[in-house]
Every structure is written in C-alpha cells, then in structure tokens.
Amino acid sequence: MSTENEGTAVPADRSAPSVPPAPPVPPASSAGAPEPAAVPQPEPGHSPRSEQATAPLPVTPPAEATVGAADAAGGWPPPPPSVPAWGVPVPPAAPAPRKRTGGIVAAVLAAALVAGGVGGGIGYWAAERGDDGNSSTTVSSGEAPAAFKRDPGTVAAVAHNALPSVVTIQAKSGGSESEGGTGTGFVYDKEGHILTNNHVVASAADGGTLSATFSDGKTYDAEVVGRAEGYDVAVLKLKKAPDGLTPLALGNSDRVAVGDSTIAIGAPFGLSNTVTTGIISAKNRPVASGDGSGGKNSYMSALQTDASINPGNSGGPLLDASGAVIGINSAIQSAGSGMGQTQAGSIGLGFAIPVNQAKNVAEQLIKTGKPVYPVIGATVTMTEKGEGATIAEEGTGGTPSVTPNGPAAKAGLKAGDVITAFGDHPIDSGPSLISEIWTHKPGDAVQLTYERDGKTATATVTLGERTGDN
C-alpha cells in the first residue's frame, strides 16, 4: 500500500528481524513517502532516492509546551451561515476574451500544478520518484476578512486557529544537484521544535539545508534535532525561532473512534496551507512503507482517513474536530500511476502515525537525538500474509532467529512458531507484528498468541530495546 510516501505494503526479504536493521544513512535519503524491490519514480517531498513504499504515504517536551486538547467531539457543529467562507461576495468580473486570456489562465494553472508536483513528495516512494523542484506555489495564506468569525468547532474556525502553527518545509541535499523536496510540519513547543516525517527531511540530514515557512510567508532556517527512520518521525528546530510560537495542542489518538471528523493541513504538490476534511476510516491499520531495500522500512499501526492527502502533505497534522493533533500524515495508498502520470494522488486512503506514538518518539529525539525501539528478540518472515508472523529458521547472516536470553527466548518461543495475536490485536504478517510492537515501549509486558505443531498457546513477552537506526 502506498503512503504519503505512497506505496503498497513493502515486499520484504524472505525473512527479516522483528525490528529491521537500519542501514547506514545515505548522502541523500528519501524524504518522500513510502515509499521495495521495484520503486516507482520518486515523488516530491522526500529525498529523491529513498521514498517509502506505502507512500510514507520511520520526547515530549515539558507538559506545558505540549498541552493536550480535549478529545475530539464526534462530528462537526452546525454549518456556518450561508455566506462565502472568507468574506462578502465580490461582484463577478466581466468575462475576459476567450481568445487570449483563457489560454493565459490555463497556462498559469498548469505551471502552478507542475511546480507543486515537483516540490511535493509525501512518502518514501514519492521521494524515490521525486522531481527536482522544491518551491511552493503559495507564499502565505489569504488574509481573513476583518469581520472573520466562525463558531468554535467549524472547519473554518479550526483551520483559522491551526494554520499559523503549520509550516511548509523545504529540504535540499548537500549535493551539487541540490535535490530535495517539499513537506509539512507543525510547531511542537515554544522553543521552536517542529515535528514532521523523517522522509521529509532525510535528503537534507547530511550537509543539506532546511527551511520552514509559516502561513504568513515568513521563512526560518532549521536544523535536524533527531530522526527515527523506523517510525518515520523527525524533529527539527528553528535556528532563530520567533517569539510567540503557538504549539498545536495534542489529542489522544487512543481515544479516536471510527467516524470521527478529521482535518488535514499540508502542502500537497507544493500548494502550501491546503486544508482538507474527512473522517477516521479505520484504526490500527498495519502500514509498511520503504524504499525497497528491505532495511529502510517504516512501520506504523496507522489511523486511516479519507481526508485528501497527497505528496507534500507528509509530516503535516491530522486534526480532530476540536483542532487537536491526533496524527501525523505520512502515507497514502495509490491505485498506481498509469496514463503517463509521474506521481500518484489521493484515492481516499491516507494513513497517519498516531500522535501518542509520535509524541513518545519526539520526546526521545529531543532528549537524546536517537530513537529507541521496542523489540521481541526474534526474526520473523516478512513475505507471508494471512497466517500470522512466522519466526524464521535462522536470523540475518546465519544468526539464531531467536536471540539467546532475549525477550522471545525467555517467553519460550522457538523458530517455526507462528504469532497470531499481539495483545488484543490479530497478527497476519511480519510487518503487522512490527507495527504493533512499535506502539509499545521497552519494558512493556505483552501477551501474545502463537501456534506450534497445530496447537495454540500464549506467552507473555517483556519487550527489550534497541537504540538508534544504525
């Protein structure tokens, strides 16, 4: 499946560790979404050569810096009065001559879309197929009418309050060709930390440049504080953060319900400050996205939404009806790029990293600059689907598939066991197992169900940990 790094579930090697080894960071990793073996042309928004297969569609600051908002209400309030959303109607202008003006307008629109497409990759796949441009076609959000007023909870009110805290990120690699792309992020705390996707900034992580542009058009240089490739989360910091930053309130993604209203904000195809709406279509959706190498994949137990998400939305906030962040838009499922298209777009299947998980990762990155991954200490196959996650006969490089004295070994698991449930969640494949493991923390004790020689049994595993992507 594709993610904002668009892509399809990443095909993986015959077997892979429960937490795939992180490869050395390339000079310009994909900042795009998904984004395995045959990777489509990189989509903008991620590094040009390592987008994720599911289109990505891999520290909480002090409590006072990330105040959580009330949980989302179940639906939008009554619609606003039937007047133009942003002001008094303007008398229609006289139609322009069709002979020349029409052609000019069409040419301008086409140029804008091309520019947006060039700069807006969302997932690792998007970045893998990424084009070269990186400029946004929208410099700032339009001025709201002086008499702007919308009832709290309306889409217009939520967007009006949230837009000043959302940024469009421009990433450029340090190479001579200055490859890069456009993505999105949002203000995480008053110290100037910005939360986004790893695939959005990966291309600029080694010697590149990063900048963040607010909805008022002001741009600030930024630097990477830490990246988590497996979680597809990254934290930036503005080098000269302005006073008065307003962090977006964080919601509780564990309490989100299917059918809840959602708002996505980002820069699809480079069109900054774009707002789209939808609902939560599903929860705990296992999503694997990567660049096809088998070792650079990201995994999430995602929130699925039908809010329109496209390349360039990566890293942007998914809000609930109260305006609280419930997820980070990261991947899209794509129907493919036929008819000569070079980028895939939204088909109503978008995926977001639950904010509770992203918050834990952000806290680790702000404190230490490195991510911490929970592990079970067993290598599982990554290609089979539908029968559970099978513990491989041997691990990477001929090592034992069950780490001696590791969590799985202590729980009595052996090679050949098929894990069918992790906690309350059914498991149908290796990627879905990793997605569930990574929603927990090292030290958590989780009951899993497995099959051995046709018999079903349960065991309690206390998760171990691995620090860093390398």
261 is catalytic: no
Q: Which of 232, 260, 291, 320 is catalytic?
A: 232
193 is catalytic: no
Give me the DSSP letters along 111-175: HHHHHHHHH---SHHHHHB--S----S--SPPPPPTT----TTSHHHHHHHHGGGEEEEEEE-SS
- What is the b/e burial string over 79-118, where b = at least 16 CB atoms within 10 angstroms of the residue's CB? eeeeeeeeeeeeeeeeeeeeeeeeeeeeeeeeeeeebbbb
What is the DSSP secondary structure assignment for residue 49, as one 8-state letter? T
Q: Which of 253, 298, 314, 429 is catalytic?
A: 314
CB 280 within 8 A of CB 262: yes
Structure tokens at 302: 């995602």
* CB under 8 A, 24+ apart: contacts of 405-409: 406/375, 406/376, 406/377, 406/378, 406/464, 407/375, 407/376, 407/377, 407/378, 407/461, 407/462, 407/463, 407/464, 408/376, 408/377, 408/378, 408/461, 409/377
Q: Which of 189, 199, 203, 429 is catalytic?
A: 199
SS3 321: coil
440 is catalytic: no
Q: Catalytic residue numbers?
A: 199, 232, 314
